[in-house]
């Protein structure tokens, strides 16, 4: 058992209709459903309502009244579309980078280390344990490791790998790296879970049929680990597109701002609740559309 | 359809009354009718088998008796008490599940003690030891089920059910997961235990041999209904539907028409121009279209020039199209023009070869072993089901 | 959930190190396959460098800010609560984490059991309702709850943070426990009922013990999500401070080394716990194999 088995869930549903009982599910369902309704569905409704509010005429900053002011959306989009597009761009880049880095990790843990339980366990622990060190502290660590006067940057200058005056922090590159870093475990664990479930005999059969390890990988291993890949990319892309910790700690506030930062600032600094709410709704809807299309395309609806 | 198990002499005298009665029980899953207006009585102390192909409703019937499924209609009584609405844990019934369903986190002894502890019975330890001794597993009491072989797990499941001395022990394909040799051994063992403890066993299986070996009474189920019910030998020698004729062993079925009534209560039937005789008592109808049946081992090959006995039906000649030697017997396939292919099982008594491939032979069998089925039935019913193994 | 798969790769590995036969393309791939572990090693390095940095700077003789290395000291470890607010924030995070984990694990486990064991109308809808919070960015979840709390004029604090954390943890618990429930033979619960166990007994004597590994994994996941959450907390905490929030807020004026101490401690604790768990379970598995 490990946390890893977790995220890449989607195993066979053993139950056949005959074996499942028809009644008695309500006591089990109700508490959770009521909770999610009260604290997820209703708040999203509140968010939708807030996104249409207008300022109280002559009221203080931060005072709004119910209305159906759809213009909030067009105003918000007209003003903040670059941040919205950038968020998805950064999230996409981070997801691809995390996939490229995370797949080999998951492969080594789940396939190469088979039979060596202790090694496998140790590597899994190393993937999971950073969860317990504050991710903000780790992000700040990156900031300091890559700071202008740091050893890394000096070395890169000395090696002429970085142009004079070039820097690593406060760049889009740094933000994408931070996002990649922070959500990497969410990529590794589901892929690991699906690779680990993979029957060793299939790999052997593949090796037998195709001989070349690459062909085996391409035709057997990769397709069979697709549920994990889909799960991992979703678990990376979704939080990355809404994140603002990385862009505010590793970015420069001009060409790295992401939509999360805007929403946060609108809520807490400007007290512009309708705009913040409208942007949140846009972000949520956009992600749901993207995720829906992606899941349908990859044919892994069962994953949900 | 109302069917009552003919009281088995031994069972009936052992204890009067019915252990289980189903009255007009129907179970629907949506539009699918799994069990269709089923009525049956299982006498106390008997070993009763529900036999049928997968999907015939036998397991659903068992689950309704156990209380794991609610009938859509009808009533279920155990020991004369109506338990239709009673939930599983309140029924005096225990089940040996197909997958055994042993609790993996408990030891063998704890598994066996589970039911006794739930009912807060006295002497749990002693009764567990007794139960394990009955299935000869006392030495494995402290093991976890995962460490046992399939046969051992099966015995634990049996002990776990038996120690509760239920009014009714239900067995859901209990031997399905075992290999052939072990299955044979367990069949005898189950029979021994049943005789020893004297409980009523209701056994669900798709394996006709298993049902016939163990049960006093077999009910053959098909499509949610009981086709025929009775002692195994009765069902075999005297099938009343094509399904039973084909599902329980093999039958040669030839379509024909009743043309006359002969002395000695025999029916004269025309089959493809030939005339055969069927005892009226062994035919389900005495006019019109019938299927004339004979079991392959009852049929013999007539050597050239050999005359049949007067009380035999004869067909042929036909061509031997297949010969397979199995040691105990030789199985022939003989194609008779106009009638189809006959199977013939010849006991290997003399040690010399009978017919060879391509030989022209005639076939003969005793009139007394001939049976007649409804000619409107599908002669192939129950055939395909033989291949279905869950 | 532990694997007991025999080592099956030696053949491939051996082939990878003896590039004797085959075309150049194949040889290139073999080289590639040999490089996979190297690449994965670098990735692990990438993952762990900031952790190492954090641990190292818990021993820094920091002055006003813990930015540059000034020398080794155990001061912060001797006095982990030395910096203002740091232990209070840590304690708050523990309280929030424990409360959220308990509630989310309970609610999520019930949902998971219901979803796997029962076919009912509206099941797809329930699945969707569980999937949605996972596919909604934290900033939206945070903003939505805040909008509701604001409109209801709810005082922000510990309670609102726990409410928020339970909400986003439930889905992860459901997904985790569902996998475990699905791997259980439904006949086990039926067997319990058949052996006179009431539904209550059947759950506590059979289902629950067998689900326990899955529930434990779910609880661990929920706790780690809650403990490390910043964005949703930031929206719904008001002046209530959790550990991540403390770190974020103090980043501007300098994070005290005590924060590094606490993070390092948690990291080591997690490491030890998981290693112990792994060793125990592999020893148990070994014993089981030996019979």
Any idea what the Cα angle at residue C263 is, between residues C259 and C266, rounded to 5°?
A: 140
How many domains are there within chain C?
A: 2
What pLDDT digit, counting tens, does each position of A164-178 carry?
Answer: 777 888 888 889 999
- Considering only CB atoms, C194 lies closest to which of B88, B102, B104, namely B88
Domain span at C264 = 254-291
Contact between A19 and C186 using a beta-carbon 8 Å cutoff: yes
Residue of A nearest to B68 (CA): A21
- Considering only CB atoms, B101 lies closest to which of C190, C205, C288, namely C190
What percent of chain A is modeled with pLDDT above 90? 30
Specify the CATH number for the domain of residue C153: 1.10.3720.10
Closest CA to B312 of B354, B362, B265, B346: B362
What pLDDT does A233 receive? 92
Contact between C194 and B114 using a beta-carbon 8 Å cutoff: no
Domain identity same for C168 and C279: no
Chain B: give the shortest CA distance to residue A202, in Å: 25
Chain A: give the shortest CA distance to residue B68, in Å: 8
Does C31 map to a domain? no
Q: Are strands B47-51 and B217-222 parallel, antiparallel or unpaired?
A: parallel
Predicted complex ipTM: 0.82
What pLDDT does A69 receive? 86
pLDDT tens for chain C, 291 residues: list them: 333 333 333 333 334 333 444 445 555 556 666 788 888 899 999 888 889 988 988 888 877 677 777 788 888 888 888 788 889 999 999 999 999 999 999 999 999 988 888 878 888 888 889 988 988 888 899 989 998 898 888 999 999 999 999 999 999 999 889 888 888 888 999 999 999 999 889 989 999 999 988 898 899 889 989 998 999 999 999 899 999 999 998 887 788 888 889 999 988 888 888 778 777 776 766 655 544
Q: Name chain C's partners: 3 or more CB pairs within 8 A.
A: A, B
Return the SS3 of C131: helix
What pLDDT does C33 receive? 67
Contact between B90 and C209 using a beta-carbon 8 Å cutoff: no
Closest CA to B157 of B104, B212, B211, B195: B104
pLDDT band of B16, cuts 50, 70, 90: very low
pLDDT band of A96, cuts 50, 70, 90: very high
Average pLDDT of every residue of chain A: 82
What pLDDT does C96 receive? 96
Average pLDDT over residues B127-138: 90
Domains of chain A, first to last: 81-303 (1.10.3720.10)
Does C18 map to a domain? no
Domain identity same for C290 and C165: no
Question: What gap in Å lies between CA C112 and CA C103, rounded to an integer?
Answer: 14
Contact between C206 and B99 using a beta-carbon 8 Å cutoff: no
Would you call B135 exposed, middle or buried from its count of C-beta atoms within 10 A (0-12, 13-18, 19+)? buried
Last residue of a domain, one of C243, C266, C282: C243
Return the SS3 of A237: helix
Domain identity same for C265 and C162: no
Does C65 map to a domain? no
Contact between B103 and C198 using a beta-carbon 8 Å cutoff: no
Instruction: Tell me if chain A has a CB within 8 Å of the CB of C74.
Output: no
Contact between C143 and A277 using a beta-carbon 8 Å cutoff: yes
What pLDDT does C1 receive? 36
Domain identity same for C194 and C262: no
Scanning A12-31 for CB atoms below 8 A from B yields 17-18
| Cis status, amide bond into B250, omega within 30 of 0 | no
Under 8 Å between Cβ of A261 and A33: no
Contact between C201 and B95 using a beta-carbon 8 Å cutoff: no
What pLDDT does C285 receive? 63
Closest CA to B200 of B45, B371, B372: B45
What pLDDT does A211 receive? 64
Under 8 Å between Cβ of B49 and B217: yes
What pLDDT digit, counting tens, does each position of B268-289 carry?
Answer: 888 888 888 889 888 888 888 8
Average pLDDT over residues B16-32: 84
Domain identity same for C186 and C128: yes
Position B194 pLDDT exceeds 50: yes
Question: What gap in Å lies between CA C171 and CA C111, rounded to an integer?
Answer: 9
The two tokens of residue B2 are 């109302």
Question: What gap in Å lies between CA A151 and CA B160, rounded to an integer?
Answer: 70
Instruction: Tell me if chain B has a CB within 8 Å of the CB of A269.
Output: no
What pLDDT does C32 receive? 64
The two tokens of residue A60 are 């203080």
Under 8 Å between Cβ of B103 and B114: yes
What b/e sequence results for C246-264 when a residue is b if at least 16 CB atoms lie within 10 Å of its CB, and e otherwise? bbbebbeeebbbbbbbbbb
What percent of chain B is modeled with pLDDT above 90? 26
What pLDDT digit, counting tens, does each position of C113-134 carry?
Answer: 888 888 788 888 888 899 889 8
Under 8 Å between Cβ of C139 and A283: yes
Q: Are strands B73-78 and B18-29 parallel, antiparallel or unpaired?
A: antiparallel
pLDDT band of A89, cuts 50, 70, 90: very high
Q: CA B52 → CA B223, B247, B248, distances in Å?
A: 9, 8, 9
CATH tag, B9-92+166-237: 3.40.50.300
Under an 8 Å CB criterion, which residues of C touch B? 185, 187-188, 190-199, 201-202, 205-206, 209-210, 288, 291
Q: Does domain B250-378 have CATH number 2.40.50.140?
A: yes
What pLDDT does C287 receive? 58
Distance of CA A120 to the CA centre of its chain: 25
What pLDDT digit, counting tens, does each position of A28-37 carry?
Answer: 888 999 999 9
Closest CA to A278 of A292, A290, A267: A267
DSSP assigned state of B284: S
Last residue of a domain, one of C243, C265, C282: C243
Q: What is the dihedral of CA B101, B171, B61, B86, to 10 degrees?
A: -70
Does C153 map to a domain? yes
Domain identity same for C145 and C117: yes
What pLDDT does A14 receive? 32
What pLDDT does C78 receive? 85
What pLDDT does C4 receive? 38
Q: Annotate C57-123 with DSSP letters as a single string.
A: GGGB--SSSSSS---B--HHHH-TT-STTHHHHHHHHHHHHHHHHHHHHHHHHHHHHHHHHB--TTH
Question: What gap in Å lies between CA B44 and CA C244, rounded to an integer?
Answer: 71
What pLDDT does C104 receive? 96
Q: CA C82 → CA A281, C68, C268, distances in Å?
A: 43, 20, 21
Under 8 Å between Cβ of A191 and A8: yes
Instruction: Tell me if chain C has a CB within 8 Å of the CB of A258.
Output: no
Q: CA B206 → CA B181, C162, C249, distances in Å?
A: 17, 56, 71
Distance of CA C94 to the CA centre of its chain: 14
* Residues facing B50 on adjacent strands: B204, B219
- Most confidently predicted of A109-118, A295-304, B151-160, B344-353: B151-160
Domain identity same for C115 and C220: yes
Instruction: Tell me if chain A has a CB within 8 Å of the CB of C156.
Output: no
Residues carrying CATH 3.40.50.300, chain B: 9-92+166-237
Instruction: Tell me if chain A has a CB within 8 Å of the CB of C116.
Output: yes
Question: What gap in Å lies between CA C165 and CA C38, rounded to an integer?
Answer: 38
Domain identity same for C117 and C222: yes
Count Cβ atoms below 10 Å from residue A62 Cβ, excluding itself.
12
Return the SS3 of B82: strand
What pLDDT does B360 receive? 87
0.80 exceeded by the pTM? no
pLDDT band of A23, cuts 50, 70, 90: low
Question: What gap in Å lies between CA B22 and CA C29, rounded to an integer?
Answer: 68
């Amino acid at each position: 058992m490990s946390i890893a088995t977790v995220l890449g869930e989607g195993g066979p549903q053993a139950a056949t209709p005959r074996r499942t009982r028809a009644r008695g599910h309500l006591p089990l369902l109700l508490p959770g459903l009521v909770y999610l309704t009260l604290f997820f569905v209703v708040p999203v409704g509140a968010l939708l309502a807030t996104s249409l509010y207008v300022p109280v005429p002559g009221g203080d900053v931060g005072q709004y009244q119910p209305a159906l002011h759809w213009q909030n959306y067009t105003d918000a989009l007209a003003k903040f579309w670059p941040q919205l597009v950038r968020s998805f761009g950064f999230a996409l880049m981070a997801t691809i980078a995390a996939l490229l880095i995370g797949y080999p990790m998951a492969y080594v843990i789940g396939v190469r280390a088979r039979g060596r339980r202790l090694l496998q366990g140790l590597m899994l622990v190393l993937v999971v344990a950073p969860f317990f060190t504050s991710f903000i502290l780790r992000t700040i660590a990156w900031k300091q490791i890559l700071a202008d006067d740091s050893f890394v940057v000096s070395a890169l200058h000395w090696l002429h790998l970085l142009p004079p005056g070039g820097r690593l922090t406060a760049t889009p590159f740094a933000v994408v790296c931070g996002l990649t870093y922070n959500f990497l475990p969410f990529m590794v664990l589901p892929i690991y879970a699906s690779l680990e479930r993979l029957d060793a005999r299939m790999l052997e059969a593949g090796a037998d049929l195709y001989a070349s390890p690459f062909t085996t990988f391409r035709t057997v291993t990769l397709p069979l680990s697709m549920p994990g890949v889909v799960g991992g990319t979703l678990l990376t892309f979704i939080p990355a597109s809404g994140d603002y910790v990385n862009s505010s700690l590793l970015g420069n506030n001009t060409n790295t701002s992401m939509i999360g930062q805007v929403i946060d600032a609108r809520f807490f600094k400007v007290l512009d609740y309708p705009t913040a709410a409208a942007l949140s709704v846009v972000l949520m809807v956009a992600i749901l559309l993207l995720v829906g299309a992606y899941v349908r395309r990859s044919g892994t609806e069962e994953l949900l | 359809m109302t069917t009552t198990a003919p009281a088995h002499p031994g069972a009936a005298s052992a204890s009067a009354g019915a252990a289980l009665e189903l009255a007009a029980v129907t179970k629907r899953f949506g539009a699918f009718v799994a069990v269709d207006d089923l009525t049956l009585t299982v006498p106390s102390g008997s070993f009763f088998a529900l036999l049928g192909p997968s999907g015939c409703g036998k397991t659903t019937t068992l689950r309704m008796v156990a209380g794991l499924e609610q009938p859509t209609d009808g009533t279920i009584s155990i020991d004369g008490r109506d338990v239709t609405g009673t939930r599983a844990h309140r029924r005096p019934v225990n089940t040996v599940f197909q997958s055994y369903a042993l609790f993996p986190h408990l030891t063998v002894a704890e598994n066996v003690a589970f039911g006794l502890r739930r009912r807060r019975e006295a002497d749990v330890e002693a009764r567990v030891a007794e139960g394990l001794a009955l299935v000869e597993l006392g030495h494995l009491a402290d093991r976890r089920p995962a460490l046992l072989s399939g046969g051992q797990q099966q015995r634990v499941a049996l002990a776990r059910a038996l120690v509760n001395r239920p009014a009714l022990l239900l067995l859901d394909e209990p031997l399905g997961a075992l290999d052939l040799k072990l299955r044979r051994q367990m069949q005898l063992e189950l029979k021994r235990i049943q005789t020893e403890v004297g409980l009523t066993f209701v056994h669900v299986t798709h394996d006709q041999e298993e049902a016939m070996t163990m049960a006093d009474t077999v009910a053959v189920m098909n499509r949610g209904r009981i086709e025929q019910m009775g002692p195994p030998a009765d069902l075999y020698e005297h099938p009343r539907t094509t399904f039973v004729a084909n599902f329980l062993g093999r039958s040669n079925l030839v379509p024909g028409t009743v043309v006359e009534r002969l002395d000695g209560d025999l029916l004269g039937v025309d089959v493809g121009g030939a005339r055969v005789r069927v005892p009226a008592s062994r035919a389900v109808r005495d006019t019109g279209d019938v299927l004339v049946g004979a079991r392959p081992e009852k049929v013999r090959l007539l050597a050239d020039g050999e005359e049949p006995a007067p009380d035999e039906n004869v067909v042929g000649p036909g061509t031997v199209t297949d010969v397979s030697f199995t040691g105990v017997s030789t199985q022939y396939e003989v194609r008779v023009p106009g009638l189809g292919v006959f199977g013939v099982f010849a006991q290997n008594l003399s040690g010399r070869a009978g017919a060879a491939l391509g030989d022209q032979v005639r076939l003969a069998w005793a009139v007394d072993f001939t049976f007649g089925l409804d000619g409107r039935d599908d002669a192939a019913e129950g055939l395909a089901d033989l291949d279905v193994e869950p | 959930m532990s694997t007991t798969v025999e080592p099956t790769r030696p053949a491939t590995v051996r082939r990878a190190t003896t590039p004797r036969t085959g075309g150049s393309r194949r040889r290139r791939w073999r080289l590639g396959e040999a490089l996979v572990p190297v690449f994965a090693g670098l990735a692990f390095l990438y993952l762990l460098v900031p952790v190492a940095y954090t641990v190292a700077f818990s021993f820094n003789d920091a002055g006003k800010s813990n930015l540059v290395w000034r020398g080794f000291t155990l001061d912060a470890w001797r006095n982990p609560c030395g910096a203002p607010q740091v232990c209070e924030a840590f304690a708050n995070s523990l309280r929030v984490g424990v409360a959220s984990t308990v509630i989310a694990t309970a609610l999520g486990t019930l949902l998971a059991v219901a979803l796997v064991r029962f076919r009912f109308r509206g099941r797809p809808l329930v699945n969707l309702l569980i999937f949605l919070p996972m596919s909604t960015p934290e900033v939206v979840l945070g903003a939505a709850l805040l909008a509701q709390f604001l409109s209801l004029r709810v005082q922000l604090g510990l309670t609102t943070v726990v409410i928020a954390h339970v909400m986003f943890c439930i889905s992860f618990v459901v997904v985790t426990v569902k996998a475990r429930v699905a791997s259980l033979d439904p006949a086990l619960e039926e067997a319990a009922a058949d052996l006179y166990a009431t539904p209550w007994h059947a759950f506590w004597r059979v289902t629950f013990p067998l689900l326990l590994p899955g529930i434990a994994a779910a609880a661990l996941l929920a706790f780690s999500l809650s403990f490390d959450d910043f964005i949703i907390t930031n929206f719904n905490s008001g002046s209530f401070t959790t550990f991540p929030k403390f770190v974020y807020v103090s980043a501007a004026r300098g994070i005290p080394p005590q924060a590094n101490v606490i993070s390092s401690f948690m990291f080591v604790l997690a490491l030890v716990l998981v290693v112990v768990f792994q060793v125990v379970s592999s020893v148990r598995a070994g014993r089981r194999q030996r019979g």
